[in-house]
């Protein structure tokens, strides 16, 4: 058999990623910072994503997001489904994803892997990179509107950069989900004081040092009057805060404003209505990470962070996880092709016409 003809891939499940030690929030912060700088240096190809929306009202969609890490010689794609009605209709999670990586030496596939965990940890990871530079160092209280997968992952990554957090409040559409959030998170963080609010959104965030909205709503849920001086607000979902929230903030920082402004998040809507201008956005996160601009400058600043989601970060994280799994000999090899099709002596019997 000609080994060079084999096309195979390493299949990596979420279980493999966990066993390989990939749930490492400190490492995720480092990878995200390095990838942001690498993109700025032109070392990453990042084409537009392809979006297929199946329901305009619910925004149920499947997106195809490619990018290439030129230095690492890896090209990848995330295939991600977002079905916001899933929890209510099927008692299933909203987001599911797979990631495919190929090398760019001969273009052959390297791995096909779980992308749900990667996608969630990437979103929460960039939020925590932002918090590292923009949240008060002595932040004590974190408040969530939304208690889903993103909210939980954000709590984990936020605590890794702000271990001073002692209290977590949460408000959700359905109080049962607040209870689930608390049940699941209390096991991980027994030292944190958790408080549900029976869907009282204000109660969750008034007086909080870090506020996170991670909802599937398209409503101005977060009110300006609830935010105290010195707050770090991390916006994860779509339209979920009053326009006056951003206007009241001293700094607005994005993962990438040029991308954010053309989407459908609160800041994007404000930009399209002419309420927010390019010059109102203080920085892209990479400018702060690389030291070009300062992060938080005093304890009174209210700072707004919006991430739209940069899929080259998913690919950078996926590549690191793939390497870790390889080293740990985890995963299952799947063979797509054993020999080139016309090298098969028996090929004639498979041809129908
Ligand atoms: N910025 C990014 O890069 C990025 C990446 C992934 C997901 N997201 C977005 O983050 C959001 C959350 O994702 P998820 O996976 O956690 O979803 P999820 O379905 O697990 O959770 C959604 C949460 O929103 C809450 N919610 C919905 N309507 C509400 C309302 N009116 N009032 C209060 N709470 C309400 C629900 O109770 C639930 O807790 C989604 O909008 C998703 O598209 C953003």
Dist. CA 307 → ligand 1 center (Å): 13
Half-sphere exposure of 341 (CA within 13 A, CB side): 5
- Structure confidence at residue 340 (pLDDT): 96
CA-closest residue to ligand 1 atom 22: 215
| Ligand 1 pocket by Cβ (under 6 Å) | 82, 87, 94-95, 123, 145-151, 172-174, 177, 214-217, 219, 221, 236-238, 307-309
Q: Please name the residue whose Cα sits nearest to atom 35 of ligand 1.
A: 173
The predicted pLDDT at position 159 comes to 98
Q: What is the pLDDT of residue 58?
A: 87
Q: Which of 22, 53, 32, 20 is nearest to 311 (CA)?
A: 32
| In the predicted structure, residue 57 carries a pLDDT above the cut 90 | no
CA of 41 to the centre of ligand 1 (A): 32
Q: What is the pLDDT of residue 68?
A: 98
The answer for residues whose C-beta is within 8 angstroms of residue 148's C-beta and 6 or more apart is 87, 93, 94, 172, 177, 214, 215, 216
What would the pLDDT profile of 303-353 be if each residue is shown by its tens digit?
A: 999 999 999 999 999 999 999 999 999 999 999 999 999 999 999 999 998
pLDDT tens digits along 94-127: 999 999 999 999 999 999 999 999 999 999 999 9
Tokens representing residue 353 in the block: 């016409």
Indicate the Cα dihedral angle 105, 107, 110, 115, nearest 10°. 120
Span from the CA of 105 to the centroid of ligand 1 (angstroms): 39
Ligand 1 mutation target, pool 237, 255, 309, most atoms within 8 A of CB: 237
Can you give the pLDDT at residue 2?
Answer: 83
CA 168 to CA 166: how far, in whole Å? 7
- Scan for tokens 């709503």, then name that residue: 217
Q: Residues with Cβ < 8 Å from 187, sequence gap 6 or more? A: none
- Closest protein CA for atom 32 of ligand 1: 173
Q: State mean pLDDT over 82-86.
A: 93
**Ligand 1 atom 19: residue of nearest CA:** 94
Question: CB of 115 within 8 A of CB of 79?
Answer: yes
Query: What's the pLDDT score for residue 211?
Result: 98
CATH number for the segment(s) 3-118+311-350: 3.30.1780.10
Share of the chain above pLDDT 90, in %: 95
- Confidence band of 3 (pLDDT split at 50, 70, 90): confident
Mean pLDDT of 154-171: 98
**Torsion sign, CA atoms 293, 131, 40, 277:** negative
Residue 232: predicted pLDDT = 98
- Banded model confidence at residue 142, pLDDT cuts 50, 70, 90: very high
100 C-alpha to center of ligand 1: Å?
25
DSSP state of 60: E
pLDDT digit string, tens, across residues 185-212:
999 999 999 999 999 999 999 999 999 9
- Measured from the Cα of 308, ligand 1's closest atom is 1
Q: Which atom of ligand 1 is nearest to the CA of 87?
A: 19
How many beta carbons lie within 10 A of that of residue 265, not counting itself?
A: 21
Quote the CA–CA distance of 316 and 284 in Å, as a whole number: 19
Res 345: pLDDT = 94
Please tell me the distance between residue 316's alpha carbon and the centre of ligand 1 in angstroms.
Answer: 24
Q: Provide the whole-model pTM.
A: 0.95
Pocket perturbation via mutation, ligand 1, pick of 92, 94, 145 by most ligand atoms within 8 A of CB? 94
What's the CATH number of domain 136-306, 1.10.10.10, 3.30.70.380, 1.10.10.60, 3.40.50.720?
3.40.50.720
pLDDT of residue 1: 72
Where in the chain are the domains?
3-118+311-350, 136-306
**pLDDT for the residue 83:** 94
């Amino acid at each position: 058999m000609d080994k060079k003809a084999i096309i195979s891939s390493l299949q990596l499940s979420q279980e493999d990623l966990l066993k390989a030690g990939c749930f490492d929030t400190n490492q995720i912060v480092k990878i995200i910072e390095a990838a942001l700088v690498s993109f700025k240096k032109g070392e990453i190809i990042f084409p537009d994503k392809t979006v297929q929306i199946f329901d305009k009202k619910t925004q149920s969609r499947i997106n195809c997001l490619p990018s290439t890490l030129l230095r690492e010689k890896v090209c990848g794609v995330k295939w991600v489904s977002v079905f916001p009605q899933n929890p209510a209709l099927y008692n299933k999670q909203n987001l599911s994803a797979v990631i495919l990586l190929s090398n760019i030496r001969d273009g052959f596939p390297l791995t096909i892997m779980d992308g749900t965990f990667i996608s969630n940890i990437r979103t929460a990871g960039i939020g925590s990179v932002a918090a590292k530079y923009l949240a008060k160092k002595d932040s004590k209280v974190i408040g969530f509107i939304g208690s889903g997968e993103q909210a939980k992952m954000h709590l984990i990554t936020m605590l890794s950069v702000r271990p001073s957090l002692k209290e977590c409040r949460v408000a959700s559409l359905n109080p049962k989900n607040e209870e689930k959030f608390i049940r699941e998170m209390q096991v991980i963080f027994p030292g944190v004081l958790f408080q549900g609010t029976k869907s009282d959104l204000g109660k969750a965030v008034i007086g909080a040092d870090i506020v996170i909205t991670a909802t599937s709503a398209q409503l101005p849920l977060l009110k300006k009057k609830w935010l105290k001086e010195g707050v770090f607000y991390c916006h994860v979902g779509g339209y979920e805060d009053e326009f006056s929230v951003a206007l009241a903030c001293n700094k607005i920082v994005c993962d990438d404003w040029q991308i954010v402004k053309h989407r459908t998040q609160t800041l994007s809507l404000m930009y399209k209505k002419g309420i927010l201008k390019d010059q109102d956005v203080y920085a892209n996160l990479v400018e702060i990470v690389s030291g070009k601009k300062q992060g938080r400058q005093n304890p009174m600043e209210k700072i707004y962070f919006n991430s739209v989601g940069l899929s080259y970060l998913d690919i950078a994280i996926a590549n690191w996880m793939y390497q870790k799994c390889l080293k740990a000999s985890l995963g299952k090899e799947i063979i797509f092709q054993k020999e080139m099709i016309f090298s098969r002596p028996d090929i004639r019997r498979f041809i129908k016409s």
